[in-house]
């Protein structure tokens, strides 16, 4: 038997939701098998993971907190992918953003908060964009594949952080490789009293809104989409393809860097080597699951926040590994990508007739 994928001529409105529903069911089913395998009871585990975080105030706000960095990286990846710039470096760009933010945070004691906060956010954004600059130039000037360069710069950013934390930024009190706590004047406001939900989430939602507006409504966004969908046609129509890619890459890096600053100034308040829990890589999953829609990325990020918090409570209650949360996210990625393929293509099975066919 051999499978061929044939482009569908038309797609009825119900196929998309149906396939996403099927993907979700399949994900829960596969996750349940894995949980069973890990020695837990599947049904309570699924309930802990997907429902219980939404049933308590604490669970809900912690989910929002976990979702916050993913909102930024999801938007960063989505806008780059829409332009056909395959930025896999949101992780490194976010880390670069944390460096910039920490640098400002450690040197901004005497400033008023109204100055300090914009400054720390701006620094994160700049450092993120700067980290994205080299691969973007290599791509637009020399045609070097950005997938490889952006990806390979991710561990470099982490190494720089490790270097800084073991050198100039070593904690002045404990001597551990964590930075000192940043100045109060650069800490983000808490937007939901008595929780840890900070201004970063609001900022993320604003970023999502701006991206959506720009790509969907503005002339630059139309250019960006044209370049992403058919670069040659865009070139023939006189659009500046390389410049569009360069600017989009910098914007993408800037958004990821802003996410890094939001983590430093919003929750962590100091730089550690574990500052990013793979937020950049998860951003790729978030954007893909959202089919590169910005509002979709926001929703997926929030869902991932719930799963992250839920998997911790499931692991505590049922004594299963907390990595089960990441496992669910990964399975979800695979099933949804399959669903997206099936939405676009028909699968035609042919029976092998002669030995010659491969």
Eight-state DSSP code of residue 190? B
* Of 241 and 324, CB closest to another protein: 241
User: In angstroms, rounded to a whole number, what is the distance separating the alpha carbons of residues 264 and 228?
Assistant: 33
Q: How many residues does the chain have?
A: 358
Q: Which of 229, 295, 334, 348 binds another protein (CB under 8 A)?
A: 229
Query: How many residues in the shown chain lie near another protein by CB under 8 A?
Result: 24
In terms of Cβ atoms closer than 10 Å to its own Cβ (0-12, 13-18, 19+), residue 354 is: exposed
Helix, strand or coil for residue 5?
strand
Eight-state DSSP code of residue 319? -
Q: Which of 217, 316, 344, 346 binds another protein (CB under 8 A)?
A: 217
Question: Cβ(255)–Cβ(207) under 8 Å?
Answer: yes
Question: Cβ(309)–Cβ(97) under 8 Å?
Answer: no
- Our finding on whether 357 is near another protein (CB under 8 A) is yes
- Our finding on whether 207 is near another protein (CB under 8 A) is no
Span from 158-166, 223-231, 245-253, 333-341 in contact with another protein (CB under 8 A): 223-231
Helix, strand or coil for residue 2?
strand
CB of 247 to another protein, least distance (A): 15
- Quickly count: other Cβ atoms within 10 Å of residue 199's Cβ: 18
* Of 172 and 353, CB closest to another protein: 353
* Of 118 and 240, CB closest to another protein: 240
Span from 50-58, 236-244, 293-301, 322-330 in contact with another protein (CB under 8 A): 236-244
Q: Which of 234, 261, 265, 333 binds another protein (CB under 8 A)?
A: 234
- Our finding on whether 219 is near another protein (CB under 8 A) is yes
Task: State the DSSP H helix or E strand holding residue 7, giving kind and residue range, or none if neither.
Answer: strand 2-7
- Our finding on whether 320 is near another protein (CB under 8 A) is no
Alpha helices in 83-218 (DSSP H): 90-106, 113-142, 146-166, 199-217
Q: Which of 122, 239, 337, 340 binds another protein (CB under 8 A)?
A: 239
User: In angstroms, rounded to a whole number, what is the distance separating the alpha carbons of residues 141 and 11?
Assistant: 39
CB of 334 to another protein, least distance (A): 25
* Of 36 and 243, CB closest to another protein: 243
- Helix and strand numbers (H, E) in the chain are 13, 2
**Residue whose C-alpha is closest to residue 251's, from 294, 207, 200, 311:** 207
* Of 172 and 358, CB closest to another protein: 358
- Our finding on whether 236 is near another protein (CB under 8 A) is yes
Question: Cβ(294)–Cβ(211) under 8 Å?
Answer: yes
* Of 21 and 240, CB closest to another protein: 240
- Our finding on whether 194 is near another protein (CB under 8 A) is no
- Our finding on whether 152 is near another protein (CB under 8 A) is no
The contact set with another protein (CB under 8 A) reads 213, 217-219, 222-223, 225-226, 229-230, 232-240, 353-354, 356-358
């Amino acid at each position: 038997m051999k499978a061929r994928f044939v482009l569908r001529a038309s797609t009825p409105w119900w196929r998309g939701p149906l396939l996403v529903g099927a993907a979700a069911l399949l994900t829960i089913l596969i996750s349940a098998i894995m949980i069973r395998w890990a020695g837990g009871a599947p049904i309570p585990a699924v309930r802990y993971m997907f429902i219980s975080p939404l049933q308590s105030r604490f669970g809900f706000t912690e989910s929002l907190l976990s979702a916050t960095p993913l909102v930024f990286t999801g938007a960063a990846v989505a806008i780059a992918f829409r332009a056909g710039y395959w930025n896999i470096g949101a992780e490194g760009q976010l880390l670069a953003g944390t460096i910039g933010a920490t640098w400002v945070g450690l040197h901004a004691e005497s400033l008023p908060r109204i100055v300090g906060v914009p400054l720390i956010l701006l620094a994160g954004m700049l450092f993120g964009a700067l980290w994205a600059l080299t691969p973007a130039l290599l791509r637009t000037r020399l045609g070097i594949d950005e997938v490889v360069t952006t990806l390979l710069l991710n561990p470099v950013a982490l190494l720089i952080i490790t270097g800084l934390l073991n050198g100039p930024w070593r904690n002045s009190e404990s001597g551990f490789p964590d930075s000192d706590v940043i100045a109060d004047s650069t800490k983000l406001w808490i937007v939901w009293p008595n929780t840890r939900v900070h201004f970063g989430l609001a900022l993320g939602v604003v970023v999502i809104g701006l991206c959506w507006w720009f790509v969907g409504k503005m002339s630059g966004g139309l250019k960006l989409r044209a370049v992403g969908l058919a670069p040659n046609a865009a070139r023939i129509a006189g659009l500046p393809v390389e410049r569009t890619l360069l600017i989009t890459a910098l914007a993408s890096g800037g958004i990821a860097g802003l996410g890094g600053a939001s983590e430093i100034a919003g929750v962590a308040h100091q730089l550690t080597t574990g500052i990013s829990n793979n937020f950049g890589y998860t951003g790729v999953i978030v954007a893909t699951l959202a089919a590169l829609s910005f509002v979709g990325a926001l929703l997926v990020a929030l869902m991932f926040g719930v799963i992250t918090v839920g998997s911790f409570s499931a692991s505590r209650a049922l004594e299963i590994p907390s990595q089960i949360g990441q496992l669910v996210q990964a399975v979800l990625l695979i099933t949804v990508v399959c669903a997206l393929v099936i939405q676009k293509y028909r699968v035609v099975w042919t029976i092998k007739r002669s030995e010659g066919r491969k």
